[in-house]
């Protein structure tokens, strides 16, 4: 178990959805916060809510994490503020719906930058300190990476997004293995469809998958927090999502990809 008292969690994408709920959960558990996203106004509102509710102290960093210089800026700001980041939550991410050949190239590359490169970069920047600290204070640090059930199979119509989440899943599992015994845990949270801004922003509100319902962001956040504290390498939020993720293991890949396409298609087409 991680020791939550007077520690700091840095959460990317804390202005909406799962990241916002993760911030509420970490604050309730006694963490101070570094809140990162572009929407500074939303982060300020959240910080004031959490200060009133739990006495949480928050550093707000309104930054576009698709900027290649953003991870170094974030590290610089936490260092200048004298903040030791005990838990890094790499949650910020977005998807892009449509045929790869027709999608906007800049958006596609920004998606890889945010979902893959920034996540990797922040992890590499904060991890050495966590490993060093764990030598005297075992289980004091951890990393929670938000992937998706999309990481378990290819996803036509969101080809790049699914591939970025496969990266996050495999990267996190490999890292958890490398860090085994060093006192720093890595957990990969894999939500299925969740009611947030995500599908609206991805222009994917019509897809068949959403007809099966979506989980609420708070439940997903609680699952992620619990798994991190328990030192689990992977957690799939929701039994139905767990079952779906397992079902692809023994099925032919071409069939899995064809079924994924059906769930991604828009119902009205």
Ligand X SMILES: NC(=O)c1ccc[n+]([C@@H]2O[C@H](COP(=O)([O-])OP(=O)(O)OC[C@H]3O[C@@H](n4cnc5c(N)ncnc54)[C@H](OP(=O)(O)O)[C@@H]3O)[C@@H](O)[C@H]2O)c1
Residues labelled catalytic: 161
Q: Which is nearer to ligand X, 16 or 171 (CB)?
A: 16
- Among positions 49, 51, 64, 173, the unique one binding ligand X when judged by CB under 6 A: 64
Q: Which is nearer to ligand X, 17 or 183 (CB)?
A: 17
- Among positions 71, 93, 154, 238, the unique one binding ligand X when judged by CB under 6 A: 93
Contact 133, 74 (CB under 8 A): no
Number of chain positions touching ligand X (CB under 6 A): 28
Q: Which is nearer to ligand X, 63 or 179 (CB)?
A: 63
In degrees and rounded to multiples of 5, residue 152 shows phi and psi of -95, -10
Instruction: Identify the burial level of 83 via C-beta atoms within 10 angstroms of its C-beta, where 0-12 means exposed, 13-18 middle and 19 or more buried.
Output: middle
114 in contact with ligand X (CB under 6 A): yes
227 in contact with ligand X (CB under 6 A): no
- C-alpha 3/C-alpha 47 separation (Å) is 22
146 in contact with ligand X (CB under 6 A): yes
- Among positions 2, 10, 65, 157, the unique one binding ligand X when judged by CB under 6 A: 65
* Residue 113: DSSP 8-state: I
57 in contact with ligand X (CB under 6 A): no
CB atoms within 10 A of CB 198: 22
Stretch of 33-41, 129-137, 225-233, 260-268 contacting ligand X, by CB under 6 A: 33-41
- Tell me which residue of 229, 114, 256, 244 sits closest to 191, measured CA to CA: 244
94 in contact with ligand X (CB under 6 A): yes
Q: DSSP of 8-73, one letter per residue?
A: EEEEES-SSHHHHHHHHHHHHTT-EEEEEES-HHHHHHHHHHHHHHH---EEEEE--TTSTTHHHH
What angle separates helix 159-178 from helix 119-134, to the nearest 10 degrees? Answer: 10
CB neighbour list of residue 258: distance below 8 Å, 6 or more residues apart: none
123 in contact with ligand X (CB under 6 A): no
240 in contact with ligand X (CB under 6 A): no
148 in contact with ligand X (CB under 6 A): yes
CB atoms within 10 A of CB 188: 29
- Among positions 9, 17, 27, 103, the unique one binding ligand X when judged by CB under 6 A: 17
CB of 37 to ligand X, least distance (A): 4
107 in contact with ligand X (CB under 6 A): no
- C-alpha 172/C-alpha 147 separation (Å) is 9
CB of 140 to ligand X, least distance (A): 25
| Residues in touch with ligand X (CB under 6 A) | 13-19, 37-39, 42, 64-66, 91-94, 114, 146, 148, 191, 193-194, 196-198, 201
């Amino acid at each position: 178990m991680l020791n939550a008292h007077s520690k700091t969690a840095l959460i990317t994408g804390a202005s909406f959805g799962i990241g916002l709920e993760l911030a509420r959960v970490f604050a309730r558990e006694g963490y101070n916060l570094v809140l990162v996203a572009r929407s500074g106004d939303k982060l300020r509102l959240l910080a004031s809510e959490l200060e009133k509710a739990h006495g949480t102290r928050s550093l707000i960093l309104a930054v576009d994490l698709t900027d290649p210089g953003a991870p170094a800026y974030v590290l610089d700001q936490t260092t200048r503020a004298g903040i030791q980041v005990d838990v890094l939550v790499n949650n910020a991410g977005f998807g892009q719906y449509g045929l790869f050949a027709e999608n906007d190239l800049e958006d596609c590359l920004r998606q890889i930058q945010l979902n893959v490169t920034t996540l990797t970069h922040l992890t590499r920047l904060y991890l050495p300190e966590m490993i060093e600290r764990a030598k005297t204070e075992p289980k004091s640090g951890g990393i929670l990476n938000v992937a998706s059930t999309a990481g378990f199979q290819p996803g036509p119509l969101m080809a790049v997004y699914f591939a970025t989440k496969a990266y996050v899943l495999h990267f996190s599992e490999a890292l958890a293995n490398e860090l085994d015994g060093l006192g720093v845990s890595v957990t990969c949270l894999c939500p299925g469809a969740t009611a947030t801004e995500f599908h609206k922003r991805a222009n994917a509100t019509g897809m068949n998958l959403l007809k099966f319902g979506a989980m609420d962001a708070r439940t997903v956040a609680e699952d992620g927090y619990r798994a991190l504290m328990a030192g689990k390498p992977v957690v799939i939020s929701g039994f139905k999502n767990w079952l779906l993720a397992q079902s692809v293991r023994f099925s032919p890949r071409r069939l899995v990809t064809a079924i994924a396409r059906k769930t991604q298609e828009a119902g009205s087409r």
